[in-house]
Amino acid sequence: MTPSQAAMMIPDAAVSSETALDRFGPLPRPDLAFTPQVAEATAPIYEKVKHIIPAIEWPALAPTIHAINILKKQRNAVILAHNYMTPDIFHGVADIVGDSLQLAIEATRTDADVIVQCGVHFMAETSKILSPDKTVLIPDMKAGCSLAESITAADVRGLRERNPGVPIITYVNTSADVKAECDICCTSSNALQVVESFGVDKVFLIPDKYLAANVGNKTDVEVLIWDGACEVHERFTAQELRDYRKIEPGVKIIAHPECPPEVVAEADFAGSTAHMIDWVKTRRPEKVMMITECSMADNVASETPDVDFIRPCNLCPHMKRITLNKILDSLLEMKEEVVVDPAVASRARQAVERMINLKS
């Protein structure tokens, strides 16, 4: 190799080891005092959460919320937050909130340079797959998901070999490697539509066996399963729901389709997190129980103070890794950057885009 060839290789090596902080540069750590200026700037936000966050807690939260909202502008960043984020994040700093489908669609639309994904790792990967040129950050790299961890790309290849010709649909709660092996993606918002879109009598819907069973109960298509489950939703039982109906007469019960089918059968309505929120906002029941991750009830309750929420609280330990302090660090230090191998990303993107295009 000539010296000039060697010199030409140096920039490549430098690019590959360059961190997001190298690209964007450092910013000074803000002062986190609860000053009159911070109180005034965050007053409209407190108005939205006053039914759920006690006034005594606000001085501890407001300075970080304020600092994040300033940093977002400095970094030209957008915060995409799942409906399971806590109210301080959901109402305080998020630019876009929604279910998995809405967040995936928004990731294709934003013109920000940076996406901070407040949710779990597969959501951040989905954003990176859809926006490969953007910097995607997740405030805690350990925010995983029991469904995503239940299946690997090699497992999908095995299914394909043993079941030639059967379409394989992957729930969005999977890694990019798994999505790359599948025909199309789906979320809980559109799983039935995706299953029926093939016009065949048999499909795989992986990896959530309960979502697959719940969709299978609504269609003539045979929906084959993988033995995965959400550790939050599988804990709910039908007996628990029947017991709540006895002690809370008149309560409306709405459930997420990651719950076991016997739980969904006991509910008055089942749908994605966004569909559950719409149901409460439109129907305005006197009393409601949301059978899902329990931060969501706090987020809706702050907007519907006329509705009484009965909270059977199951928290997702992965979603709860995302905190205001970690979001602040994420924007200051440009971490943790989510990277997806471009070859994998391009195959996974086809599966996600097929789903998004199906919608329109």
Q: Which of 88, 99, 177, 337 forms a contact with ligand 13P (CB under 6 A)?
A: 99
Q: Which residue has the tokens 């660090």?
A: 329
Q: Which of 146, 174, 188, 190 forms a contact with ligand 13P (CB under 6 A)?
A: 188
Q: Are 110 and 136 in contact (CB under 8 A)?
A: no
| Contact of residue 188 among ligand 13P, ligand SF4, none (CB under 5-8 Å per partner type) | ligand 13P
Indicate the residue among 71 and 205 with the shorter CB distance to ligand SF4: 205
Does 340 appear as a known binding residue?
no
Following DSSP, what letter does each residue of 267-298 receive, concatenated? SSEE--HHHHHHHHHHH--SEEEEESBTHHHH
For residue 146, give both structure tokens.
Answer: 């029991």
For residue 284, give both structure tokens.
Answer: 């305005």
Cβ neighbour number for residue 59 with a 10 Å cutoff: 13
Does 256 appear as a known binding residue?
yes
Q: How far is the CB of 103 from ligand SF4 (least distance, A)?
A: 12
299 binds ligand 13P (CB under 6 A): no
The rounded distance, in Å, linking the Cα atoms of 81 and 115 is 10
Determine the 3-state secondary structure of 354 from DSSP: helix
146 binds ligand 13P (CB under 6 A): no
Determine the 3-state secondary structure of 252 from DSSP: strand
DSSP assigned state of 96? E
Tell me, residue by residue from 232 to 271, as one string, x for binding to ligand 13P by CB under 6 A and - for no binding: --------------------------x-------------
| Contact of residue 106 among ligand 13P, ligand SF4, none (CB under 5-8 Å per partner type) | none
Q: Which residue has the tokens 């294709």?
A: 108
Binding site: residue ranges?
82, 100, 145, 171-173, 188, 230, 256-258, 273, 316
Binding site for [4Fe-4S] cluster: residue ranges?
145, 230, 316
Residues that bind ligand 13P (CB under 6 A): 83, 99-100, 173, 187-188, 230, 258, 272-273
